Chain A
């Protein structure tokens, strides 16, 4: 059991580090938002699962389940809100991104 907790700790911290690396390395605002929200939420949830396995009590498991459900409900909402605000204010997409589907939808 302790080995599983150790593996979950290292994996969760690694995914949080990958999220920060994506925020640094990606060329565009929208791709940065993508990397930060998805990988960051996944790493945090792996660490929380490790904490639930480490404690094993009912209170810790209930708290961890609450945090994971809340995180998975609110992280996409925050990401979509920021992306919509940035698109309304005219933040440019990456030029190699292909076509802009939202502009095509609003043109119709």
Chain B
């Protein structure tokens, strides 16, 4: 219902991009479930942060609102800090 309002080139591109991003989220979540070590789970979590940034940018283009790009910036900062904190905690001998 939303996709026809975008016009010819953007409507199928937005649909294909959203399908691909949801498939990527599902694959990264599968690696979080079956990862043998905690480090695999941290890498998959970092990738999920990147995919969330991609989805927010897709929303910004889709609903034509520039304000969502600031939310993407905040997501990038928080994802980086979380990844580094996980690496420090696991490297110092935390949860094996």
Chain A interface (Cβ within 8 Å of chain B)?
Answer: 2-3, 5-7, 9-10, 12-14, 16-17, 19-21, 23-24, 29, 32-33, 36-37, 40-41, 43-44, 47-48, 50-51, 54-55, 57, 59-60, 63-64, 66-67, 70-71, 74-75, 77-78, 81-82, 84-86, 88-89, 91
CB distance from B90 to the nearest CB of A (A): 5
**B28 and A20 contacting across the interface, CB-CB below 8 Å:** yes
CB distance from B62 to the nearest CB of A (A): 10
Chain B interface (Cβ within 8 Å of chain A)?
Answer: 7, 9-10, 12-14, 16-18, 20-21, 23-28, 30-31, 37, 39-40, 42-44, 46-47, 50-51, 53-54, 57-58, 60-61, 66, 69-70, 72-73, 76-77, 80, 83-84, 86-88, 90-91, 93, 96
Taking chain A's interface residues, is the majority helix, strand, or loop, or is none over half, making it mixed? Answer: helix
Given the known interface contacts A20-B23, A47-B58, A86-B39, the answer about A6 and B9 at a Cβ–Cβ threshold of 8 Å is yes
Taking a contact as CB atoms closer than 8 A, the residue among A37, A70, A77, A81 that contacts B73 in the complex is: A70
Given the known interface contacts A3-B9, A81-B88, the answer about A86 and B20 at a Cβ–Cβ threshold of 8 Å is no
CB distance from B39 to the nearest CB of A (A): 4
Ordered by A's residue number, 7 sampled pairs between the chains whose C-beta atoms are within 8 Å are: A12-B17, A13-B54, A20-B27, A24-B27, A50-B61, A74-B80, A89-B39
* Residues of A contacting B23 in the complex (Cβ-Cβ under 8 angstroms): 17, 20
Taking a contact as CB atoms closer than 8 A, the residue among B10, B42, B72 that contacts A82 in the complex is: B42
CB distance from B28 to the nearest CB of A (A): 5
Taking a contact as CB atoms closer than 8 A, the residue among B13, B18, B53, B96 that contacts A7 in the complex is: B13
**A78 and B87 contacting across the interface, CB-CB below 8 Å:** yes
Given the known interface contacts A37-B46, A67-B72, A70-B77, the answer about A51 and B83 at a Cβ–Cβ threshold of 8 Å is no
